[in-house]
Amino acid sequence: MLGGLAVLLLFLLIGEAVAALGVGLPGSVIGMLLLTAALALGIVRVEWVRRSCDVLLDNLAFLFVPPGVGVMLHFDLIGRSWPAIAVAVVVSTVAVLVVSGVGSQWLFRHGGRLMASVERKQ
């Protein structure tokens, strides 16, 4: 458990260092990709990190409580423009869900056929 946490923190640290070079991605996302690569290359073993990952990912939602409480800092601003904010956030969240969900599913089902027909035409 402790060893797993150490591995995760080490990859976060490396990710932050790479991010500081100006990659445009946050350190944690770079760390995630590096951990995947390290597992695939056998540098890190699954059993080293499994328990720590499970504990963190099972409780991921809780970690968003403090930034959520930060909404209180913007009650004035949100109070004045809440209808605009609410409409925009709802419309856009549904749009992203539908385009990414339906779009990817359509491509999974028809993508192969699409590629084949493109190749036939060439």
Stretch 88-107 residues interacting with another protein (CB under 8 A): 88-105, 107
Do 62 and 15 meet the contact criterion of CB atoms below 8 Å apart? no
Give min distance, CB of 95 to another protein, in A: 4
31 CB burial (10 A radius; 0-12, 13-18, 19+): buried
| Residues 61-90 within binding reach of another protein (CB under 8 A) | 61-74, 77-78, 81, 83-85, 87-90
Contact track, another protein, 14-53, x by CB under 8 A: -x--------xxxxxx-xxxxxx--xx-----x--xx-xx
Count H helices, E strands: the chain? 5, 0
